Chains A and B, each alone.
Chain A
Amino acid sequence: MNMKKVLAVTFFFLMLCGQSVQAAEPQTLSVDLLSPNEMNSAPGIHVNVKAKVTNQTDQTIQDVMAYITLGNLSKHMTVNLEDFSADQAVVIGTLKANESKTIELPIQFVYVSEYYLYVTAMSSELPVISSSQAVPVHIVSNSHINPTAINTVMIGMPALLLLIICGIVVRRYQRRKVI
């Protein structure tokens, strides 16, 4: 009886292992992020992200492209890269068996935040996509904006115009009174 149980458990365990081996198919494309490693900078900086895309299969893969993804850790969202001028993917084209290509993806960091940057490669031929490891990017504010000065102007300007309106209204009223 015990032997049966042991066999059943062993069989079940082997089934599980078999499934996990099946799930971990060899990757078709691999992406290595060559640079930058980690970034601490002010907004406005231009960076050329370098990545190496490799075809790990024994067959040619056509129509390969790679693009940047930026995750905003502070807001828990992915970033719309249009503002960062990085929304265009780089078309790599055909990658022969075991061939690698190094690509450069320009990006300009414009907003202050904490990001994770990674590069993804995909092909229209394959349903599998591959991403590189992510690198942390810290864009720190270098703003010299003085809130007190802003408050002064934002209250002062409309107040000044309101005073002018009052002046005009009073003048009109006085004129009518004279007439």
Chain B
Amino acid sequence: MLRYLVQKELREQIFSLKGVILLTIVALMFSGLSYSFIGIKEVSSFSQASVIGTFMKVVLGFGMLMSIIVAASSIASEKEQGTLESLMLVPMHQRTLVAGKWIGAMAIWIVISIMAIPYLLVLGYGTGLYGTMLLYLFGFATLATGAFTAVATGLSMLVQSSRNAVMLTIALFLIVALPLFMGTTFKKTGFGSIIDHSSPLSTVINLTKELFLNKWTWGQAMLGSLSLFVFAVLAFLFLRYAMKKLSLLGGE
């Protein structure tokens, strides 16, 4: 049943015309960014490690945002369309339904990550960082995206309309992304410092510099990502809590 659900999600989100157009836009953006690394004088002064780090941040930002938006609307939209009831009448565990939705949203991240690999191979050529790039992309970045997608799926179950679920998810994303918009002074003092050190998104983004430029070992990276691991545990606990609260009430 899980396999059927995942296939359905993949058909709708990735192998549909809408999905491929979205992926083409992402590919065009990756291409534009790659071109700027060799074609624009100012950007071409970046070191190769900085180039990889910058590219990774863009992959993470786009992939994560797309996955969480899809996750946020996944169950809430079923409620709105009145199809959740029929889905829940199918003899399958509620957990299977939620897992199917979560995997479907995560598939977007996985496809975007796979699409990024050829770009990373040419941008990271000769640096000896291929292993680190894969560890980052399919380890830390996937964990962060998985955790955020779990929160978005949870919100989608608790909120009755997909619009509200998406809005709440984006608001949450912006809160954890706050350090990215803050100036250096604010980021290093008081409230800004607290958010910067506790934000899982900040952790996973700062990790690009530590891994690619400062050549952190895997152990150092694990220790430096404690807030990310804690967030991942909390995110899946929240998903479990939301699953228990999933009701058959129709959408708004």
Provide the bound-state CA to CA distance between A153 and B119, in Å.
6
Interface string of A124-151 (1 = CB under 8 A from B): 0000000000000000011111110110
Q: How far is the CB of A75 from chain B (nearest CB, A)?
A: 8
Provide the bound-state CA to CA distance between A108 and B34, in Å.
24
Does B220 lie at the interface of the complex (its beta carbon under 8 Å from any beta carbon of A)? Answer: no
Does B30 lie at the interface of the complex (its beta carbon under 8 Å from any beta carbon of A)? Answer: yes
Provide the bound-state CA to CA distance between A154 and B121, in Å.
12
**A-B Cβ contacts below 8 A, count:** 100
User: In the complex, which residues 133-191 of chain B have their Cβ closer than 8 Å to any Cβ of chain A?
Assistant: 184, 188
A153 touches B45 (CB 8 A): no
Contact of B48 among A142, A147, A154 (CB under 8 A): A142
Does A9 lie at the interface of the complex (its beta carbon under 8 Å from any beta carbon of B)? Answer: no
B222 CB contacts on chain A under 8 angstroms: none
A147 CB contacts on chain B under 8 angstroms: 38
Provide the bound-state CA to CA distance between A161 and B21, in Å.
8
A157 touches B115 (CB 8 A): yes
Provide the bound-state CA to CA distance between A153 and B116, in Å.
10
A143 touches B122 (CB 8 A): no
B213 touches A157 (CB 8 A): no
Most buried by A among B51, B122, B126: B122
Contact of A145 among B23, B30, B37 (CB under 8 A): B37
Chain B interface residue number, banded: 35 or more
CB within 8 Å for A42 and B37 given contacts A153-B122, A168-B20: no
B32 CB contacts on chain A under 8 angstroms: 154
Does A162 lie at the interface of the complex (its beta carbon under 8 Å from any beta carbon of B)? Answer: yes
Who on chain B is nearest to A87 by CB?
B184
A111 touches B123 (CB 8 A): no
A153 touches B24 (CB 8 A): no
A145 touches B47 (CB 8 A): no
Contact of B45 among A42, A113, A142, A156 (CB under 8 A): A113
Interface string of B106-124 (1 = CB under 8 A from A): 0000000001001101110
B20 CB contacts on chain A under 8 angstroms: 161, 164-165, 168
Provide the bound-state CA to CA distance between A111 and B51, in Å.
10
CB within 8 Å for A168 and B125 given contacts A112-B47, A145-B48, A157-B115: no
CB within 8 Å for A161 and B48 given contacts A110-B213, A150-B37: no
A88 CB contacts on chain B under 8 angstroms: 188
Task: Sample 16 A-B pairs with CB under 8 A, ordered by A number.
Answer: A108-B213, A111-B45, A111-B47, A144-B127, A146-B125, A150-B34, A150-B37, A150-B122, A153-B31, A154-B30, A154-B32, A157-B31, A157-B118, A158-B28, A165-B17, A168-B16
